[in-house]
Each structure stands twice: as structure tokens, then as C-alpha cells.
Copies of this chain bind each other. A is one copy, B any other.
């Protein structure tokens, strides 16, 4: 990437909504807000304080109506994403912005919102490990990777995977040196205390109890995914 390309002004928008999983937004925020020559907004249907799934209050700075075209459209997930999957105002906003964005970037179950907007048809994608079985309902090809890049679609695994994904996006829009600088400044040399952050490495009993904890949410999301698939005319 030439120095000029690296410094082309860019726009990024992260979507905020009620009962999102806050770190799906705040993890990537930490990366995107450090990019130079970048206009970065937190957008929502309305500008008012919103509570994440566990009660953190975050306020957007821009409404959907005010949002210009963006280079990167970031869609977080979390329990509240289910409402968005059948909310035409949000789906239209995402479809419209995505059609002219350089990258669409989903974190965790934000991928399911992209799916409901019809953006996953025939695309490789990932989401939180507990909800990957839902991806085919949107015509997506589920991939076992923490960050999946398919054309202009970048999707991440669950929750904290958004930090890894956002650093990849930073690299794509600003070059590797810029992304590395951000990674060093945010001291991102993770050292998890346990080796259990994904179902392929965690103990079977731990995975089992996590699946049980997620089951009610999975059932509801499956029903919603089926309605979305029908509307999109996708046979999975």
C-alpha cells in the first residue's frame, strides 16, 4: 500500500442497539478510534442512551438518518441482535450502507443480522461458536476460523474475536504498520489465564454446560432465522 493510499480519509460506522454485547462494539472501537485520518461514528436508530445486555449504558453520536456512506460498516452482536433480524429499518440501513462500503465487518452474532439483511448468501462466514449452526439458514458457508474474510465481508467469531478482526480491518484499510502500531499501543499480547476460550480446546463438561446456558437463546434465534430464511427465499 502506498503512503498516499494509507492516508486517504476514511469513514467507519459501528452500529449500536439495545441489549448488544458491549465488547462486540467496544473491542473494535479501541482499534478504529486510533486510526489516523478516520471519521468514526457510533450510529443508531436514534441518539439516546442504550443499555448493553448486561447493563452498560452507551450513547451513540449519530442517527441512521445522519450517517453518510462509510468505508467500513461494523455490526456487533449480542442478545439484542435478534430484534434487528426482523427490523426493516435496520436491515434497510445495513443493506444500503453495505452496498457502497469497502468492508462489512460483523462481530459475534452480528453475522446473523448481516444474514437477515441478505448479505451472507453464498459467502464464507463465522459467528459465535454457540450459534454457527444458524449460518446456513442465511445461505452462508460456515468456516472454522476466528476471523473470516470473503471479499468485502469480514466476520469474526464470538465476543472478544472482534479485537482480532478489527486489527485485520485496520491492516486492510491502513496497512500493516498502522495496525501493528495500534496493537502495540493497546498492549495486545493476550495471555488468557485458562486454555478454554473455544469449544475445541475447552473441557467437554465446560462446553456442555455452556451449550445448556445458551440453549434458550439458540432456540429463539433458530425460529427467527427460519422466518428470515423464508423471507429471503433461502432453502437450507
- A residues lining the B interface (CB < 8 Å): 21-23, 26-27, 29-30, 33-34, 40, 42, 49, 54-59, 61, 108, 128-130, 146-147, 157-161, 163-164, 167-168, 171, 176-177, 179-181, 183-194, 196-199, 201-203, 206-207, 209-210, 213-214
In the complex the two chains form, what is the Cα distance from A164 to B192 in whole Å?
5
On whether the beta carbons of A160 and B185 are closer than 8 Å, the reply is: no
On whether the beta carbons of A206 and B181 are closer than 8 Å, the reply is: yes
Determine the chain B residues whose CB is within 8 A of the CB of A185 once the complex forms.
130, 158-159, 210, 213-214
Separation in Å of the A102 CB from the closest CB of chain B?
18
Of the candidates B21, B59, B158, B189, the one whose C-beta lies within 8 Å of that of A192 is B189
Q: Which residue of B lies closest to A186 (CB)?
A: B159
In the complex the two chains form, what is the Cα distance from A173 to B210 in whole Å?
20
Q: Which residue of B lies closest to A26 (CB)?
A: B26
- Taking A33-B56, A167-B192 as known contacts, 12 extra A-B pairs with beta carbons closer than 8 A to each other, sorted by chain A number, are A49-B49, A57-B58, A57-B59, A57-B61, A146-B191, A147-B193, A167-B193, A181-B210, A185-B213, A187-B198, A189-B198, A190-B197
Q: Which residue of B lies closest to A32 (CB)?
A: B54
Q: Which residue of B lies closest to A27 (CB)?
A: B23
28 A-B residue contacts at CB 8 Å?
A27-B27, A33-B55, A40-B55, A42-B56, A49-B59, A56-B58, A57-B59, A58-B59, A129-B187, A158-B185, A160-B188, A164-B192, A167-B192, A168-B193, A171-B193, A176-B194, A177-B206, A181-B210, A183-B194, A183-B196, A183-B197, A184-B196, A184-B197, A184-B207, A189-B192, A190-B190, A190-B192, A190-B197
In the complex the two chains form, what is the Cα distance from A157 to B179 in whole Å?
20
